[in-house]
């Protein structure tokens, strides 16, 4: 199991309120400051749980097995990750019809940077789908004895995907402003399907690894 196998789960991380919030902020009255604060908060809200979960699974690997890459601890952690991914698919499916934006999104039309920063942190700390995804990523890397810094490409890719609305605004200007609402509506309606497909692919990878 290598680093590239977990990177597609970055799509699951931003699907839903995370991407929709990024779109709202990119279309707000102060898109640059608010979006930058949001992305910084998101990076913190991802890095801390990833590190914590990595430490938990690293300790589990050392406590159960003998520390070798082929020990039973790796298969145990793969089994836990598999269970987490199945739970993730169930959560995504059950939440698929939540199409109405939360009431707090009305504040994103003219947000303060402090609010955008806090929102970025909380959206990743408090969302069950993201917690399960981060636990799966950290468990996979720790279970296969990958170093901590292998979490960073996943973090960077997630934040980069989250930054796409702002990048589109900076590069395309008014054309992006007109397209962002359509992107928001599409993501709100269909992102769960993409998340399910990505998770299913990763489940297949984990199952294949368990079979070896």
Average pLDDT in the chain: 82
Helix (H/G/I), strand (E/B), else coil: 68: coil
* Token reading at 199: 């998770």
- The pLDDT score that the predictor gives to residue 175 is 66
Torsion, CA 128, CA 92, CA 27, CA 186, rounded to 10:
180
65-112 pLDDT per residue, tens:
554 445 567 778 888 888 988 998 888 888 776 655 555 555 666 678
- Residue 130 and residue 161: Cα distance in Å, rounded? 15
Pick from 1-10, 49-58, 67-76, 95-104 the range whose average pLDDT is largest. 49-58
- The pLDDT score that the predictor gives to residue 67 is 47
Are 1 and 10 a contacting pair, CB within 8 Å?
no
163-173 pLDDT per residue, tens:
988 888 888 76
Q: Which alpha helices (DSSP H) does 65-106 contain, by range? A: 72-94
Give the residue with greater pLDDT, 5 vs 155: 155
Domain ranges of the chain: 3-211
pTM of the predicted model as reported, rounded to 2 decimal places: 0.82
- Residue 90 and residue 103: Cα distance in Å, rounded? 25
Give the model's confidence band at 16: pLDDT under 50 very low, under 70 low, under 90 confident, else very high: confident
Q: What's the angle, vertex CA 14, arms to CA 168 and CA 209, rounded to 5?
A: 125
DSSP per-residue string spanning 108-143: GGS--HHHHHHHHHHHHHS-HHHHHHHHHHHHHHHH
Of 52-56, 94-98, 192-196, where does mean pLDDT reach its minimum? 94-98
- The pLDDT score that the predictor gives to residue 30 is 80
Whose CA is closest to 100, among 4, 14, 17, 24? Answer: 17
- Residue 110 and residue 29: Cα distance in Å, rounded? 6
Q: What percent of the chain has pLDDT over 70?
A: 79
Torsion, CA 115, CA 129, CA 13, CA 72, rounded to 10:
130
- The pLDDT score that the predictor gives to residue 150 is 94
* Token reading at 210: 């368990």
């Amino acid at each position: 199991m290598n680093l590239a196998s977990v990177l597609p789960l970055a799509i699951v991380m931003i699907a839903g309120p995370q991407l929709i919030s990024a779109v709202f902020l990119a279309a707000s009255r102060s898109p640059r400051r608010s979006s930058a604060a949001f992305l910084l908060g998101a990076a913190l809200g991802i890095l801390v749980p990833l590190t914590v979960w990595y430490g938990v699974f690293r300790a589990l690997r050392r406590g159960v097995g003998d520390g070798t890459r082929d020990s039973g601890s790796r298969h145990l952690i793969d089994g836990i990750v598999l269970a987490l991914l199945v739970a993730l698919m169930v959560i995504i499916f059950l939440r698929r019809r939540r199409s109405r934006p939360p009431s707090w999104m009305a504040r994103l039309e003219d947000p303060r940077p402090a609010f955008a920063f806090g929102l970025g942190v909380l959206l990743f700390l408090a969302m069950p789908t993201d917690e399960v995804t981060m636990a799966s990523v950290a468990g996979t890397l720790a279970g296969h004895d990958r170093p901590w810094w292998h979490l960073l490409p996943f973090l960077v890719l997630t934040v980069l995907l989250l930054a796409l609305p702002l990048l589109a605004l900076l590069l395309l200007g008014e054309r992006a402003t007109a397209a962002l609402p359509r992107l928001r509506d599409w993501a709100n309606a269909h992102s769960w399907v993409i998340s399910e497909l990505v998770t299913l692919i990763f489940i297949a990878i984990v199952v294949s690894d368990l079979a070896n």
